[in-house]
Amino acid sequence: MNRKEKVAFAKRQLSEIWKCDPSAFDAEENIFLKTEDTFFEIITFGKNAVMRGDREILKWCSEKFSAVPARDIMDGDNLYILETKLRSYGRKLGGEHVRYLHLYPEKSAIRPDAYTYKWYRGCEVKELYKYRQFANALNFERDTIALAAYKDGNLVAMAGADDYMNELWQIGIDVLPEFRHQGLGLYLVKELAADIEKLRKVPFYTTWSPNIASTRVALGAGFYPVWVGYPSEK
């Protein structure tokens, strides 16, 4: 897939989860979708805001934010207003999720030679579930593939992917503190992204704007920011 096709693919996958038409993410106006799947969530691909949620809070959102640009809803006072409303229902915003797609696969990463690497696929990934300190790389439920790095027989870094978004596979990365700043995370993410594409899936990467180290890994591995969202949680 080329860059445009990957973005269109991501919108189609999200539309299946959100039970809407993919064109909702490119509309001129903000879109409000009633659902029982989640209490509240908002995303933008940079044009409009698409919100889904419980009927009651969605009615309030429609009255409050119909004419407000997405970039303003997800900033400053409006985020505070939204957070306050959610807390009246015993909920809160789950934090900023910046989603990156692997749009520049031609970018390369240097393989750090001081480590040995091992692939884990399918059920093999469960062998890694005892390493709970790598919670950014694995979700310990729907992991599909992982690439681990070892030093002197000890696991020091890992990149893993899950399929919570169907054909969009999310990549996570964890590197033990003493092994960071050596290009290890970048290499693992790049290799995993390339392997996922060979499986005819589309890899994506999630971080939040203040996490500069994670953002650098994403950009260095050929990922590019495509959409941003805020889920809610109890």
Q: Across-strand partners of 171?
A: 161, 205
What distance lies between CA 75 and its chain's CA centroid? 19
Question: What is the Cα Rg of the chain in Å?
Answer: 19
Give the residue from 187, 119, 186, 180 showing the smallest Cα distance to 147: 119
Q: Render each residue's pLDDT in the chain as its tens digit; 234 residues.
A: 999 999 999 999 999 999 999 999 999 999 999 999 999 999 999 999 999 999 999 999 999 999 999 999 999 999 999 999 999 999 999 999 999 999 999 999 999 999 999 999 999 999 999 999 999 999 999 999 999 999 999 999 999 999 999 999 999 999 999 999 999 999 999 999 999 999 999 999 999 999 999 999 999 999 999 999 999 999
Which residues, 6+ apart, have CB-to-CB distance to 166 below 8 Å?
13, 16, 17
Distance CA 164, CA 146 (A): 15
> CA 149, 154, 157, 158 torsion: positive or negative?
positive
Distance CA 203, CA 11 (A): 13
CB atoms within 10 A of CB 47: 15
Q: C-alpha angle with apex 46: 42 to 49, nearest 5 degrees?
A: 30
Full-model pTM:
0.94
Q: What are the tokens at 59? A: 């009615």
Sequence letter at residue 127: E
Domains identified in the chain and CATH numbers: 3-93 (no CATH), 102-225 (3.40.630.30)
